[in-house]
Amino acid sequence: MNLKMCTFVFALQLIPSALLAAEVTITFPPSKSTLAGGDQTFVIGKVSPPATQFEINGVQVTPYRTGSFLTMMPVTPGKNTLRIKAGSREREHIFYLPKAATLPFQPRIEPLFPARPSGVQTGQSFSVRCKAPANSAISAQVGERVLVLKPEANDPTLYSAELNFSSALKDLPVTFFSATLPDAPAGTLSALAGPVAYTVTGKLFETQARPATGANAVHLPPDFNLLSTGYAGSSHTVWLENAPYYVDQRYLKQIKTPAALTKAQPLPDLGKGFGPHPPKNKSPRETLIVLDAGHGGSDPGAIGPSGLTEKKINLIQVRAIEKILKAAGYQVLLTRVDDTYIGLYDRVRMAYNKRADAFISIHYNSCASTSNPQERRHISTYVWNEIGKTLGRAVHSELEKISPARSIGVQKGNLAVCRNPAVPSILIELDFITAPEGEELIQSTAFQQSAAEAILKGLRAWSGQ
């Protein structure tokens, strides 16, 4: 026993221990951080010893039995100070909110096309468009030409005029103007003599073609060729099955147009050699499940009141699932086995390249600072496409049975790891890590075991194995 310990034991006899040694740690909001906004925030952290009651800004806080606590606090723009008083000790914890904007509303013209340097085809009609207050007289100067814009029938704050170029030209300046509003310089316009051919240089799943209709994006494999008829900023308009799609130019390289390339270019089939989904007539031994522990390395994910990181508990839970799936005979591959960061698309590619039968990503949820994690606490499973949906439903219906948290069911989530077009992929938010009860539950081996068993049950129900 050293001298420090002697003093501690002696002091204990005189003052109630909770008041003497109380140590309050705030996990959120982090010290000197800046929150997004709002008029309240959750404050989470832990106190030791766990039963210590203390005050934040004069409000009594009663910790959960683990010592983790959650309380909501009002906040104001600028500097915010939490005064934490435990026994005779008092200290401050500072964080910030953005200062309230004081700019008065200024009516103005907002260019829509071209908003950025853009390219169109010669001979093809297109619209220059902007947004401005209704009943304004709006014109556009396009190079030497002046166009009068008309309000659109369904929205009087949208103005447009049709235009086409008969010959190729480069970087024509465009400005929208009105007698009553400040000038609005827009992106430049170029006219391209003909369609340009591109090939995909981006990695698989990194390169997406977004349909103009708002339907699901399509993944383009490397070395896939496309015709482009224009661009807006960094986005190229390319054609697949005679419909326009947008692709980020970072993933494209111009090539000499191959003779066979047309706007009717068929959509790539990335599902070739995969399936059926669910795997029919396959034994568990022939079935490969990829388990993905979310986050890792420099990305901790969400953080619980006691400082538990999502990346750490994700991996612990994944290890429990791995054990139970292997015992049931399944082949299992983990996207990460230690505390390293793996890119989202690397995780997806791993499942694709191994021709996995299912991909399950494990996460724990949190909420915006303005909401109360205790009230928001729930479990959910995210899916994106049809092949993911059946797997998600089967697994989630088993998880609902074992989780004490409210279930919000299977949700459609446009998440990188869910978009795999060939491997049924789901992302499970197994509880709220920022709620003290959730944080305690997910660390218990009993819960980890029953969650793993539920996932196995769901997989079996899905695959009929």
Binding site for Zn ion (CB under 5 A): 294, 301, 363
Geometric angle at alpha carbon 420, from 416 and 422, rounded to 5°: 175
State how far the Cα of 410 lies from the Cα of 369, in Å rounded to an integer. 24
Question: Under 8 Å CB-to-CB from 385, ≥6 apart: which residues?
Answer: 216, 418, 419, 420, 421
Question: Residue 310 or 357: which CB sits closer to Zn ion?
Answer: 310
Minimum gap (Å) between residue 235 Cβ and Zn ion: 29
Minimum gap (Å) between residue 29 Cβ and Zn ion: 19
Structure tokens at 178: 């009105």
Question: Residue 86 or 455: which CB sits closer to Zn ion?
Answer: 455
Minimum gap (Å) between residue 363 Cβ and Zn ion: 3
Q: Are 78 and 99 in contact (CB under 8 A)?
A: yes
- Other beta carbons within 10 Å of 464: 10
Minimum gap (Å) between residue 126 Cβ and Zn ion: 42
Q: Are 210 and 217 in contact (CB under 8 A)?
A: yes
Q: How many CA atoms lie within 13 A of 71 on its CB side?
A: 23
Q: 177 to each of 112, 126, 153, 172, how far by Cα in Å?
A: 13, 19, 21, 16
Question: Residue 195 or 301: which CB sits closer to Zn ion?
Answer: 301
102 backbone dihedrals φ, ψ, rounded to 5°: -115, 0
Q: What SS3 state is found at 286?
A: helix
Minimum gap (Å) between residue 423 Cβ and Zn ion: 20
Question: Residue 268 or 301: which CB sits closer to Zn ion?
Answer: 301
Minimal CB distance residue for Zn ion: 363
Tell me the pairing of strands 288-293 and 358-365.
parallel
Question: Residue 6 or 337: which CB sits closer to Zn ion?
Answer: 337
Question: Residue 288 or 302: which CB sits closer to Zn ion?
Answer: 302
Question: Residue 294 or 388: which CB sits closer to Zn ion?
Answer: 294
- Other beta carbons within 10 Å of 25: 17
Minimum gap (Å) between residue 311 Cβ and Zn ion: 8
Minimum gap (Å) between residue 43 Cβ and Zn ion: 21
